[in-house]
């Protein structure tokens, strides 16, 4: 498959957008500006970007507790995300969701989710509703390798397959579920072979190669959109930091520095950046400019979040039950 240069530049830009955001919020979290807990996806950026570049704004997305990258790749804006992380009224969920609970229907983000595997059955239901309404939308659902060992995984994939629902399930296999390495919890090497149990295509792909992710997702998204039913994609990747931002020694307790360094060598951004510069598709200077622009946008987002008010006490009771009035 030939990927045009414009798309390749977009891939780099979108990955830088996620990396810049997460590096900044990590700083802010440790400086005490962001309350609650936070799970970073640094090193995993090729997965959301490779998948979401195949989606339309009207398509839907569900995600896990590690969802900043997914929301950004689906069109999320720094300022509303930052305000949400700060717990402010102007955030995507009025400051009541925080890092693990972003939702914005306008950009098709139906929810990131603190329950491991929690998005999988919802995605099957969303796929059912798309089919029921005879619409041509697609739903993608991101979750970790740990979530692929939950009962919800079986229920959700089976239900979506029986209904031939337009859902693309994406396992972000970052090698660990908290501190448990996957060799202690998986009985198969390629998690994608589980797709056979649900009679859907399953593919394992290098999740640090954004072009490979893009191409694999393209096939699955087009198939789902044209009525072919769901698919399962396993993206092999790695999280550079600890399970959550406050984890002791940033995750060095259960894994070695050598292991982390070897994955940093395979950084998806470095890889694409070097290839695009070598191919005269973008210049070093243009990449620097992009990075500076993201830094400036982040400063504006922080300012917006800091100046925004906290939700009113009465907001505690809003969005809990449907207002029938
Ligand atoms: C149903 C449920 N069980 C346990 C937890 C605690 N928990 C939070 S994250 C996590 C590990 C998830 O691993 P994985 O699905 O691989 O995602 P990753 O954190 O690696 O992105 C666990 C067990 C939870 N949030 N929900």
With contact defined as beta carbons under 8 Å apart, do 117 and 157 qualify? no
Which of 220-234, 285-299, 311-325 shows the lowest per-residue confidence on average (mean pLDDT)?
311-325
325 falls in which pLDDT band (50, 70, 90)? low
Specify the pTM. Answer: 0.97
Tell me the CA end-to-end span of the chain in Å, nearest whole number.
53
* pLDDT value at residue 322: 79
What count of other Cβ atoms lies within 10 Å of the Cβ of residue 301?
A: 22
Q: What is the mean pLDDT of residues 180-207?
A: 97
Nearest CA to ligand 1 atom 5: 116
Q: Give the E-state strand segments of 26-138 in sequence order.
A: 60-62, 109-111
* pLDDT value at residue 177: 98
For 274-306, how does the pLDDT look when each residue is reduced to its tens digit (9 = 90+)? 999 999 999 999 999 999 999 999 999 999 999
Q: How many Å lie between the centroid of ligand 1 and the Cα of residue 17?
A: 25
Nearest CA to ligand 1 atom 11: 177
Which atom belonging to ligand 1 lies closest to the Cα atom of 243?
19
Domains, the chain, in order of start with CATH, read: 5-306 (3.40.50.970)
The overall average pLDDT reported for the chain is 97
Nearest CA to ligand 1 atom 6: 116
**What is the C-alpha to C-alpha distance for residues 88 and 285, in angstroms, rounded to an integer?**
36
Q: How many Å lie between the centroid of ligand 1 and the Cα of residue 38?
A: 13
Pocket of ligand 1 (CB under 6 A): 64-66, 114-116, 143-147, 174, 176-178, 243
Helix (H, G, I), strand (E, B) or coil at 51: helix
323 falls in which pLDDT band (50, 70, 90)? confident
Q: Residue 130's closest CA among 51, 55, 59, 221?
A: 59
* pLDDT value at residue 319: 84
For 36-58, how does the pLDDT look when each residue is reduced to its tens digit (9 = 90+)? 999 999 999 999 999 999 999 99
Residue 248 has pLDDT above 70, yes or no: yes
Q: What is the mean pLDDT of residues 141-154?
A: 98
* pLDDT value at residue 249: 94
1 falls in which pLDDT band (50, 70, 90)? confident
For 79-107, how does the pLDDT look when each residue is reduced to its tens digit (9 = 90+)? 999 999 999 999 999 999 999 999 999 99
Kind and range of the H or E run holding 236? strand 231-236
CA dihedral 207, 143, 162, 151 (to 10 degrees): 130
Residue 233 has pLDDT above 90, yes or no: yes
Proportion of the chain in helix, strand, coil states, percent, rounded to 5: 50, 10, 40
Q: Residue 70's closest CA among 158, 121, 144?
A: 144
Which atom belonging to ligand 1 lies closest to the Cα atom of 143?
15
Written as six digits, the tokens of 274 are 């070097």
**What is the C-alpha to C-alpha distance for residues 246 and 39, in angstroms, rounded to an integer?**
9
DSSP 309: P
């Amino acid at each position: 498959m030939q990927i045009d240069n414009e798309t390749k530049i977009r891939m780099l830009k979108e990955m830088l957008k996620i990396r810049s955001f997460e590096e900044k919020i990590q700083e802010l979290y440790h400086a005490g500006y962001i309350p609650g807990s936070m799970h970073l996806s640094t090193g995993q950026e090729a997965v959301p970007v490779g998948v979401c570049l195949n989606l339309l704004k009207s398509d839907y997305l569900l995600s896990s507790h590690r969802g900043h990258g997914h929301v950004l790749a689906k069109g999320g804006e720094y300022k509303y995300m930052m305000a949400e992380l700060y717990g402010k009224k102007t955030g995507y969920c009025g400051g009541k969701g925080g890092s693990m609970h972003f939702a914005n229907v306008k950009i098709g983000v139906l929810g990131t989710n603190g329950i491991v595997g929690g998005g999988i059955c919802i995605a099957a239901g969303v796929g059912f509703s798309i089919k029921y309404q005879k619409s041509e939308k697609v739903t993608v659902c991101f979750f970790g390798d740990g979530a692929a060992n939950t009962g919800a995984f079986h229920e959700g994939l089976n239900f979506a397959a029986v209904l031939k629902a337009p859902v693309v399930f994406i396992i972000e296999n970052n090698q660990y579920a908290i501190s448990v390495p996957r060799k202690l919890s998986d009985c198969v090497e390629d998690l994608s072979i589980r797709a056979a149990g649900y009679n859907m295509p399953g593919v394992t792909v290098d999740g640090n190669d954004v072009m490979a992710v893009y191409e694999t997702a393209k096939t699955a998204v087009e198939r789902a959109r044209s009525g072919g039913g769901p698919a399962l994609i396993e993206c092999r990747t790695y999280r550079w930091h600890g399970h959550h931002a406050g984890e002791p020694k940033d995750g060095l307790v259960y894994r070695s520095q050598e292991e982390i360094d070897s994955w940093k060598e395979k950084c998806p951004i470095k890889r694409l950046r070097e290839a695009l510069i070598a191919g005269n598709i973008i210049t070093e200077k243009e990449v620097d400019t992009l990075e500076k622009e993201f830094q400036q946008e982040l400063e504006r987002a922080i300012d917006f979040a800091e100046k925004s008010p906290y939700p009113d006490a009465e907001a505690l009771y809003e969005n809990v039950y449907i207002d029938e009035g």
